[in-house]
Amino acid sequence: MIVATNSVHSPSAGRRPLSWGTPLTYALALAVAAVSIAPILYVIIGGFRTTPQIVDDPGGLPDPWVFDNYRRVLTQSKFWQQAFNSGVIALGTTLGVVVLGMAAAFVLARYAFRGREALYTFFTLGLLFPAGAAILPLYLMLRDLDLVNSYYAVILPQVAFQLPLTIVILRPFLSAIPRELEDAAAIDGAGRLGFLWRIALPLSRPALVTVGVLAFVASWNAFLLPLLVLGDVNLHTLPLGVQNFSSQFSTDTAGVLAFTSLAMLPALFFFTLAEKQIVGGLQGAVKG
């Protein structure tokens, strides 16, 4: 639909940079933005209504605005504990991915040795292993290792499945550091490890932030792995919490709306902070 509209209005505009687009451009852009955002706003605003209000008029605005739903979720549910669990697991995953990925990518980028490309290919093969397909044997293995119902049961596999993408993003970045810098470091008496610590690491900060943010968001949103390996409700993460709350209190529509929007807020907040890294990382992954 949008493609067709584009073709209709095209001859008139857009040949050269415009500071203000045509009204049609704005109309289309607004429509697209509305479709993206309206459902989210509906959930957030719906949390300020009561369930009878919602049943009477599903599309209406809060009248009056009630804060009870949000208050209830924040004081009577396991929201804070689940947010804490999500945070610990996401930070652990991020740390593991950044440290292990950086070390491996550094070797693959800055050392010349027999089998280097084979090792790189071996890591990139992991991009073909969908985490979803491995979930059952992964559960069995974690059970046999006695890791089920611990943070590690989520962190370790998440690190493992994030490593291939991380290495694919980091390696070209590290390769691009000029040889001269390494030679200069060597003349100053720094070994390769000194070069890694004092020069490569600070220089790769943007790339590290990118892979870190990608790992954090993936972990924060993860559902299937925690669903299987975290049977203990005290370890549940926010996505599990949202699902539990919505099935446990399915008649309390307003409460579910409030819980869902509270669970969304950290992601939205995080996204506005790290939008450049997320977008840049996805683009980098493609160019990788």
Partner 1 sequence: MTSTDRTRFPAGGVSAPPAGRRPAGRPSSRRAETRRKWYEIIGLTTPALVVYVMFVLVPMGFAVYYSLFRWRGVGPPTEYIGFKNYTLAFQDPIFLDALRNNAIIVFGSLLIQGPVALGIALLLNRRFRGRAVFRLLVFVPYVLAEVTVGIMWKLILAEDGTVDALLRSLGLGSLVQAWLADLDVVIWTLLFVLTWKYVGFAIILLLAGLSNVPHELTEAAAIDGASWWQTQRHVTLPLLGPTIRIWMFLSMIGSLQVFDVIWVTSVPAMRSLGASGTMATYMVDNGFFARLWGYGNAVAVILFAISFVAALLFQRFLLRRDIEGAITKGAN
Q: For residue 94, give the amino acid letter.
A: T
- Which is closer to partner 1, CB of 32 or CB of 74? 32
Q: For residue 225, give the amino acid letter.
A: L
Cα gap 15→139, rounded to integer Å: 56
Check: CB of residue 281 under 8 Å from CB of residue 101. no
Tell which residue, 232, 233, 228, 217, has the closest CA to residue 135.
Answer: 228
User: Closest distance between partner 1 and the C-beta of residue 179, in Å?
Assistant: 6
- Which is closer to partner 1, CB of 210 or CB of 253? 253
Cα gap 142→150, rounded to integer Å: 10
DSSP string, 218-287: HHHH--HHHHHH--SGGG--HHHHHHHHHHHTTT-HHHHHHHHHHHHHHHHHHHHHHHHHHHHHHHHHHH
User: Closest distance between partner 1 and the C-beta of residue 205, in Å?
Assistant: 19
User: Closest distance between partner 1 and the C-beta of residue 102, in Å?
Assistant: 9
Task: Give the dihedral sign, CA 225/227/230/235.
Answer: positive
User: Closest distance between partner 1 and the C-beta of residue 208, in Å?
Assistant: 15
Cα gap 31→26, rounded to integer Å: 8
Taken as a whole, the chain contains a residue count of: 288
Number of helices and strands in the chain (H, E): 15, 0
The label of the residue with tokens 């992991």 reads: 126
User: Closest distance between partner 1 and the C-beta of residue 160, in Å?
Assistant: 3
User: Closest distance between partner 1 and the C-beta of residue 110, in Å?
Assistant: 5
Query: What's the angle, vertex CA 75, arms to CA 73 and CA 79, rounded to 5?
Result: 55
- Which is closer to partner 1, CB of 74 or CB of 140? 140
- Which is closer to partner 1, CB of 74 or CB of 145? 145
Query: What's the angle, vertex CA 15, arms to CA 9 and CA 16, rounded to 5?
Result: 135
- Which is closer to partner 1, CB of 19 or CB of 76? 19
- Which is closer to partner 1, CB of 88 or CB of 278? 278
Q: Helix 79-110 vs helix 238-248: angle between axes, to the nearest 10 degrees?
A: 150
User: Closest distance between partner 1 and the C-beta of residue 66, in Å?
Assistant: 17
User: Closest distance between partner 1 and the C-beta of residue 76, in Å?
Assistant: 19
